[in-house]
């Protein structure tokens, strides 16, 4: 493990599972153990996770599948089994909850944890507890993760990435300046290619370049990002590990194997997506007032249409009908390669009292039927009852 003078004083951690989806697949099918495995959808899709063997060949997340296959033709491609990953993620979360209630998940396979003040409770400092966490993940779940431990979120996340896989890296306060000095600024989460470009133009490549700028000049040139950069350059990040990051929107999308303009097929997709969005809203007790339909055309241009409803909804039928009406207005732009629906302007479902629709007296009954179907699915599984529409 690591030696660091501050090792037992640091309490902000970032845990990132190693090649999460691929590791789950390898765990569940040992014959995959020494094969390159890529998780992703179809020949038109993109790589969502590549195992470390595939990564050695140059395969990366978000790479188009055909390119990945060129680099690694013998790779085993597996369609993501989201329900399994969600379940495993929940198990990991439960283990983290044994350490601290202050957990901020960033996705299924990574989360921030604040272990401040837990040393007395556990009788061991955070560093020890985190080491136990990864050990437990390995023994009970057969999965590995990398830990970054530091004095704030920014550095914890940077640290977890230093020695992947199975890493445990620590950045102490004293060494922060020296550590960052010649590191590139693209290390900062949220600095994408376009931000990188504008930083390049200002001659900023490394953290030491940033240190040469004074605070006003940075915020003058880069706005609110400038001020944040000034702090990060000094290894400062005041953001708290917040367990309750409010959800701003819920959306789902799907990319087709082949571009399609077939209204029946698209209708089926709109329904399934509406149902997924609705399921997630119901699971979280949320309702939304804005329904979004996203369409990507064959030439990759994206069309996004938003409709504001009079009252918030979480009902799949309403989301579907709204998205469908908007779709009908854009259908002549077909064929499409991707379709998505979303729900935003969210509020608690208890506020989503709805007054029925005078012109659509059946709407209330359909909503009732949907809730009845939800109850059945809750009891007998998601496929206990499906709409004919969903089978198209």
Binding interface with other proteins (CB under 8 A): 289, 307, 310-312, 322, 325-326, 329, 347, 350-360, 364
Question: Three-state SS for 291?
Answer: strand
Radius of gyration, CA atoms only, the chain: 24
Sheet containing strand 12-17, strands side by side: 103-107, 110-114, 12-17, 145-150, 168-170
Q: How far is the CB of 292 from other proteins (least distance, A)?
A: 13
β-bridge pairing 12-17 and 336-348: unpaired
Q: How far is the CB of 380 from other proteins (least distance, A)?
A: 27
Q: Which residues are catalytic?
A: 110
Handedness of CA 317, 319, 325, 329 (dihedral sign): negative
Q: How far is the CB of 199 from other proteins (least distance, A)?
A: 34
Q: How far is the CB of 367 from other proteins (least distance, A)?
A: 10
Q: Are 52 and 39 in contact (CB under 8 A)?
A: no
C-alpha–C-alpha distance, residues 322 and 302, integer Å: 19
C-alpha–C-alpha distance, residues 238 and 51, integer Å: 34
Nearer to other proteins, 188 or 326 (CB): 326
Q: How far is the CB of 354 from other proteins (least distance, A)?
A: 7
Nearer to other proteins, 200 or 360 (CB): 360
Q: Which tokens sit at 190? A: 């949220």
C-alpha–C-alpha distance, residues 43 and 255, integer Å: 11
Nearer to other proteins, 62 or 359 (CB): 359
Nearer to other proteins, 187 or 364 (CB): 364
C-alpha–C-alpha distance, residues 10 and 173, integer Å: 9
Q: Which distant-in-sequence residues (6+ apart) come within 8 Å of 299 by Cβ?
A: none
Nearer to other proteins, 62 or 358 (CB): 358
Q: How far apart are the first and last CA of the chain?
A: 54
């Amino acid at each position: 493990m690591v030696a660091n003078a501050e090792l037992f004083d640091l309490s902000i951690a970032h845990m990132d599972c190693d090649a999460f989806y691929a590791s789950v697949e390898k765990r569940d099918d040992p014959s995959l153990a020494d094969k390159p495995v890529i998780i992703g959808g179809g020949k038109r899709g993109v790589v969502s996770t590549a195992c470390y063997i595939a990564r050695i060949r140059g395969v990366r997340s978000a790479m188009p599948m055909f390119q990945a296959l060129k680099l690694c033709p013998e790779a085993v491609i597996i369609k993501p089994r989201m329900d399994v990953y969600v379940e495993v993620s929940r198990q990991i979360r439960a283990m983290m909850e044994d350490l601290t209630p202050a957990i901020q998940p960033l996705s299924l396979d990574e989360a921030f944890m604040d272990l401040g003040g837990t040393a007395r409770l556990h009788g061991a400092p955070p560093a020890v507890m985190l080491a136990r966490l990864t050990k437990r993940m390995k023994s009970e779940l057969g999965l590995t993760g990398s830990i970054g431990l530091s004095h704030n979120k920014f550095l914890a996340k940077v640290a977890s990435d230093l020695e992947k896989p199975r890493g445990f890296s620590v950045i102490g306060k004293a060494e922060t300046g020296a550590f960052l000095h010649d590191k590139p600024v693209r290390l900062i989460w949220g600095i994408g290619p376009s931000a990188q470009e504008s930083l390049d133009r200002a001659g900023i490549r490394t953290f030491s370049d940033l240190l040469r700028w004074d605070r006003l000049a940075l915020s003058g040139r880069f706005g609110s990002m400038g001020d944040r950069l000034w702090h990060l350059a000094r290894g400062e990040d005041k953001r708290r590990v917040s367990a309750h990051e409010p959800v701003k929107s819920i959306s789902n999308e799907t990319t087709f194997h082949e571009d399609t303009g077939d209204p029946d097929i698209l209708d089926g997709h709109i329904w399934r997506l509406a149902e997924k969005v609705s399921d997630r809203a119901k699971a979280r007790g949320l309702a939304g007032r804005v329904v979004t339909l996203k369409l990507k055309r064959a030439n990759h241009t994206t069309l996004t249409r938003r409709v504001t409803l009079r009252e918030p909804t979480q009902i799949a039928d309403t989301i579907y009908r709204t998205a469908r009406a908007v779709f009908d207005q854009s259908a002549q732009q077909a064929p499409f390669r991707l379709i998505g629906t979303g729900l935003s302007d969210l509020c608690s479902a208890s506020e989503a009292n709805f007054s029925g629709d005078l012109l659509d007296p059946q709407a209330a009954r359909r909503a009732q039927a949907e809730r009845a179907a939800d109850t059945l699915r809750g009891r007998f599984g998601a496929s206990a009852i499906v709409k004919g529409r969903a089978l198209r």
